[in-house]
A and B are shown apart, each in its own frame.
Chain A
Amino acid sequence: MILEVKHGYFGYSKGHDLLQDICFTLREKEIMTILGQNGTGKTTILKCVTGILKWQRGQTLINGKSIDSSRKTLKQIPIGYVPQAHPLSFPYTVRELVTMGRARHIGVFSVPSGKDKKIADQAIDEVGIRSIRDKLCTQLSGGQLQLVFIARALAGEPRVLVLDEPESHLDFRNQFLIIKLIMRLVRERGLSCIINTHYPEHALRLSDTTLLLGQHSYMFGKTKEIITEKRVEEYFDINVKILPVPYKDEEIKAFVVLDSI
């Protein structure tokens, strides 16, 4: 399965396009990261891809077929969206919330069937939150809530998982756990992933391709080619050194900020 975006344009106010001529391709089992400063439109790209917002020009294609992101075909888009962890208006239980991920598979006048509940439970097990599944979502920590949202997206049985800054607001260890979980899901479920992140380090470690978003331009390509010391300086206005850290058979890249404080 291939997801492509061709010549996507989007702006919140007339005459000013926040996103201009966005093009990228996501192949099966690939992870793509989107990097950029605040306000460059990272979240907007995700919303356009998932159909929450509509490209004003251009389109998203899946396997070469345009997903008319008009709300009609919303149901057929095999994309699971994981928003940033946010408080809920109603204290649903974890299970109830995850089951809502089945919405696109459940008829308008129906309620979740036994099968839907089973799939939701599987998603809960898959992200490892079985122990909290009867708790109220309002009583969870930020990390737990993020996992609940991932489980909810998985319950919809997506082919592509779209995550909006999944590791932000999390502590050091939880950031690592989320990243590990995403890698595992891609491996085991054969999912493709688009992830917004603020951490070039994570992008380097995690992704195959990267879209680097600036104020008026962007770059897209293989992560290793995109994330260089020079580009980080160009797009983030900060001097860094990327150092290889050998560990076992791998070479892990570390970022060191050079600017004096």
Chain B
Amino acid sequence: MSRRQRVAENLNDALHHLLAAHPGTYVIGEDLADPYGGAFKVTRGLSDRFPDQVLSSPLSEGGIAGVGAGLALAGNRSVVEVMFSDFAALAFDPLLNFAAKSVSMYGRRVPMSMVVRCPTGGNRGYGPTHSQSLQKHFLGIPSLHLREVTPFHDNRRVLTAMLDREEPGVLFEDKVLYTRAMYRDGVVDDLFRYEVLTDPAETARVFAPDCGPPDWIVLAPGGLTERAVAALRSLLLEEEITCELLVPSQLYPFDTEALLPVLSRAGRVCVVEDSTADGTWGELLAQRLHERLWRRLARPVLALSAGPSIVPTAAHLEHEVLPQSSTIHRAIVEATK
């Protein structure tokens, strides 16, 4: 069996594909040029192969988001890399007030094919300004959609769908996940299998075959996959609690309605995410699920997130703030009693 592709390689392959497929596609970002090829090597080989389509930019996150929006306004497709998602705060105005609003504020639909890629999340010891998960800060913006990279979804398809939508989007890419392998052929490991559902968010469903209806359904963005699967395993083997994991490709807008048949198979639902506590994606989902599933749920949705804290640097401190597999395991055991 051939070596499975790593997530960063899959993203790199997707960007090569996009630039080759459309000469009017541009990739813009800091330190993208070869031989460096980007801080996380996701853009490796692009500037050598497509010198006219790759712009290795000055340190100007707001500026390059605006340039990407200008290219999109003129009918191109732009992919803007923000080196660490924390710095997307510097690009908030061009995204919120220009790119997203332009889709509708001129009274007719203005196509804006633009993706801002954001290497995100912690567990790598980069400290408070390089480790945060900012997804929650981009929720609820008209015409701005959010996706997160997962090991289940091929990024050619993800990025193509985002650009075909003709609305700006933000793609969150967990920095630990970069180094992990893509899953394929419906296999996660010896215990778990997966399938990708046909709901609008293209949710991946991870399950243990022949276990019947699950006790719990865990909903998590792609960056949590490894920690969530580890929790599924320990809960099954050590506690005899069966869980399924749902990992959507698209985080927002999120169509909970389409997932209700899957979600209503369990009496208990847990949402888990890396964003700082309060006002989060998981809370939004929990609120919607309470409205639609209240009578069927054995207990309120269990919402797990990072603590109400900055993300500290030292490994033991960072481990305490961000949800780990043990956090998920313990919380679910406690909530099952």
Partners in one complex: no
Residues of B within 8 A of A (CB): none
